[in-house]
Chain A
Amino acid sequence: MGQSYMHIGSSSAMLKQFFFKRFLLLLFLFSLLIPVFFLSIASGAYSLSLGDVIRCLLDPRGENPSSIAHTIVWFYRVPRTIGALIAGAVLAVAGALIQGITRNPLASPFTLGISSAASFGAGLVIVLGLKLALVSREFLVTSSGYVVVALTAWTICFLHTLLILMLVYVKGFSPESIVLAGIAMTYVYSAGITFLQYFAGEYQLREYVYWIMGDITRVDWGRLWVLVAALLVTAVSAPFFAWGLNTLALGDDVAKSLGVDPRRVRFAIALIASIATATVISVTGPIAFVCLMAPHIARLITGSDNRYLLPASIAVGAAILTLSDVVARIALKPVELPVGAVTSALGAAFFISLYMGRRRQVVMG
């Protein structure tokens, strides 16, 4: 009962404070990326001190080219770190967007079948391409070979997205139809992937499984620009849909009565989030759980208002993937794990704790 007296005499100033606090939290989340960045540059098989890191970063041209530290920082760690930051950001914001349009906190671009589509596409080249001698083993390990795999993965994702949108259009763009279409198509690709794996030779299988795990080491300076493009597209377009996504949380009828066309929002968001995710995972391979976990954590920190949730997801996703990559590098030093393995383990732990927490809440409530 004491609670009902708590707010007497308070006013809109409290609301102002509430939203301002969220803004501050957002700034805080983004400021966290600075130490994360330095930590990532410093850690790995060859660990560097913070002093080394700063010295190397301040000297991009490398006045002292013989320095190993300089080579490691500028050729490996910087593109890899920026790659992890951006890939994490894009995956996370895409996850938040898909959760918004499906009104389902357990949905993600992967639920829509994007990762299966990409894996299937990559398999077409790595397994079928080799088998039919369309590409050679030597070609596949070159940079151009890598581009062919990525482009094929991306193209399959793109076609998949168009197919999903068509299926969903037929069903009137309901949130359920999006999830169901995605799951149905995931089964189709799973079947395809199983076939590819069965017929793959030993070498092809190893390469293929490695690709499917998802790894950030694949990012170099050239490939980084692809990720930057994906981030720009999502970061620029997502804010336009923040309010629309907010209204969708109250159901399609309320959204319509507030002047929002749910079908248009769903169509645009599904397209943007799918393509952005496809772009990232074509480069890195499907990195699991970031797009599911990061929006959850962001929501716990800044709440459900998409004006804060979307940028918060960017920051949280960037931090999670970069830190996971740090763990991947140092956990079994000098052996490096694929970052997908780390995010999977992290995601599993996170969701088990979330599940236990939720049960407690239900018992209490």
Chain B
Amino acid sequence: MSSSARLRILGIDVYYDGYKALSNVEFEACPGEFIALLGPNGSGKTTLLKTIARVLKPRKGVIYIDSRKADELNDNEYAKIIGFLPPSDTSVIIRVPIKGVEVVAIGRKPHVTWSLTKADLEKIWSAMRIARVDVFAFRDVNELSSGERQRVMLARVLAQEPEVLLLDEPVSHLDPRYQVFMLKLIRSLTKDRKLVTIASLHDINLALRFSDKVILMKNGRVFAMGTPEEVITAENISEVYGVKAVVIRNPHPVVLIEDVIEDEPP
């Protein structure tokens, strides 16, 4: 995490077979910025994160890391810069016993050829300490709760030492305590290490509280983008999610969802 990278996304189109999942998505993210990706199911949040992570290929558009095009980097170089954490419900489809430390060590893949050096082990250990999963180092991750397992997965992506952190619903299956713990942790890492962090979230209030910038998506397009206060308005929320919402300032803004808008297709 020596240097810090600026990420620019220009005119991204992504298709699933014939279906257009992302349409002309553009934004820019600076080091130290925590971006929340909001939008209803199917609005393209996951697709966008996977495209930046190079899990999916865009049909059109360019991703720049600083002044370099993503295409100019090979897979391994790219993996040293971009880290991706899938949602907790899909992140472990492991059917074999595997210890916490073995999972976290996998994050070192882009940096090693065969053996883990002392420096690698120190990075693995420090990632586990930061995510507070060092106590699970020698336990089978299949025996952990989903929240504990998700923190092991976070440690895995931290051990990868990426400059851009892509988190797909990192807290969706966590209890309130660990939702806040995790987002606070991610935010402070973003600031301390000058990372670009993009996290898709379902909880609008968590986005309000932890993010520097919000990208609100609808039907594969960027509907609105800006500071949380600018983007998270009653009008935008109704329009994008199809719900009746009020924003209460007390003094910090809090969003209350009151009802669904009936004539809006869900």
Contacts and interface: CB of A to CB of B under 8 A. Distances in A.
B102 A105 contact: no
Contacts of A258: 79, 106-107, 109-110, 160
Contact of A12 (B50, B109, B122): B122
A103 B95 CA distance: 7
A15 B135 contact: no
A201 interface: no
B141 to A, nearest CB: 10
A19 B121 CA distance: 10
A304 B96 contact: yes
A12 B105 contact: no
Contacts of A11: 122, 125
Nearest to B125: A12
Contacts of B102: 246, 303-305
B109 A243 contact: yes
Contacts of B95: 103-105
Contact of B124 (A15, A242, A261): A15
Contacts of B143: 365
Interface string B72-104: 001111110011101000111111111101110
Interface string A4-45: 101100111011101100000000000000000000000000
B96 A259 contact: no
Given A246-B109, A254-B91, A307 B97 contact: no
Interface in B158-211: 160, 166
B93 A259 contact: no
A306 B36 CA distance: 36
A256 interface: yes
Nearest to B90: A251
Contacts of B103: 250
Interface string A287-307: 000000000000100011101
Given A258-B106, A258-B110, A305-B102, A253 B86 contact: yes
Interface in A239-255: 239, 242-243, 246-247, 249-254
Given A259-B75, A261-B75, A365-B143, A250 B92 contact: yes
A10 B128 CA distance: 12
B144 to A, nearest CB: 10
Nearest to B119: A12
13 contacts: A3-B135, A12-B124, A18-B138, A104-B95, A250-B103, A250-B153, A253-B50, A254-B156, A259-B76, A304-B98, A304-B99, A304-B102, A307-B115
Interface of B: 50, 53-55, 74-79, 82-84, 86, 90-99, 101-103, 105-107, 109-110, 112, 114-116, 118, 121-122, 124-126, 134-135, 137-138, 143, 153, 156, 160, 166
Given A251-B93, A254-B86, A307-B115, 9 more contacts: A105-B96, A242-B114, A243-B112, A251-B91, A253-B84, A258-B110, A259-B75, A259-B77, A307-B114
